[in-house]
Amino acid sequence: MRSKHKINEAVAQVPCFECPLLTCEGLRPLTKGQLDFTWSLKSGELHLERGGQIVVQGSISPHLYTLLSGIAFRFKTMEDGRRQVVNYLFPGDLVGLQGAMDDPLSHGAEALTNVRLCVFPRHRLFEIYEKHPRLAFDISWLAAKEETALDEHLLALGRRKADERIAYLALFLLRRGKQTGLAMENRLDIPLNQTQIADTLGLSLVHTNKTLQSLRRRKILNWQADGVTLLDIERAGALANFDLPDEAGRPFI
């Protein structure tokens, strides 16, 4: 299964000094000393195709990853098959921190596009805290931001109707896309199918489909297999009750 999607586990490693994230608008670059250190930590690169599993729910991962390019998502699955997409991962995001803190991982992560990940050995995580307080702080920063995003998702699932949820998700993804240079002003290329949208928003596939069509007819947004286009940002924002204060200067490791 997994190897089907795995391209290469130990491909030509990009040195941290040439990390593509360094030139990413919206991300705060690292200093020379920090790069020396992260480079000494880096144990490899993982390349996966769309659909590849980055980490598997229930497994114990010896690795910690930083997403270098592409988009992925985290999800949880219940024994009876019900699935919930929990959040999306964009370049610069850390994957597997929860697994590093305590054993069996309570969620999986899957590549939505082809992805490249930077691999760190989990057992050296604590070195970051010992030697590079600024980087350690940034890990907490990222974790706190993740919490903020999850809070917003909870509000969406708990208190918004289907069309509001979809508008919310579109705006949320667009914001993340802009932060990481993947999105245009009102368009994000992201190959999400309707099943995945449904699993993100706590809706059934059928109802998701009908609601997407309604939003398309109302000329609010157009969500196709290859990406979302916001047709009317004003009305989408009003519908979702959500505006996007896009902050910059997000750190990464």
Query: Binding residues for DNA, per CB under 7 A?
Result: 161-163, 193-195, 202-213, 225
Asked if 53 touches its own copies (CB under 8 A), the answer is no
Which of 171, 183, 55, 64 lies closest to 111 in space, CA to CA?
A: 55
Strand order in the sheet with 6-8: 6-8, 44-48, 115-121, 63-69, 94-95
State the Cα–Cα distance between residues 75 and 72, nearest whole angstrom.
Answer: 10
Complex with its own copies: residue 62 or 202, whichever CB lies closer: 202
Do 61 and 55 touch, CB atoms closer than 8 A? Answer: yes
Asked if 106 touches its own copies (CB under 8 A), the answer is yes
Do the bridges between strand 108-111 and strand 53-55 make them parallel or antiparallel, or are there none, so unpaired? antiparallel
Asked if 205 touches its own copies (CB under 8 A), the answer is no
Complex with DNA: residue 54 or 156, whichever CB lies closer: 156
Asked if 136 touches its own copies (CB under 8 A), the answer is yes
Shortest CB 36 distance to DNA, Å? 43
Shortest CB 237 distance to DNA, Å? 19
**Residue 209: contacted member of its own copies, DNA, none (CB under 5 to 8 Å, by partner type):** DNA
Q: Which amino acid is at 218?
A: R
How many residues bind to its own copies according to rule CB under 8 A?
48
**Residue 213: contacted member of DNA, its own copies, none (CB under 5 to 8 Å, by partner type):** DNA
Three-state DSSP state, 237: helix
**Please, where are the H alpha helices in the chain?**
2-5, 32-41, 97-101, 125-131, 133-159, 162-179, 194-201, 205-217, 233-240
Which of 10, 11, 60, 150 touches its own copies (CB under 8 A)? Answer: 150
Shortest CB 152 distance to DNA, Å? 17
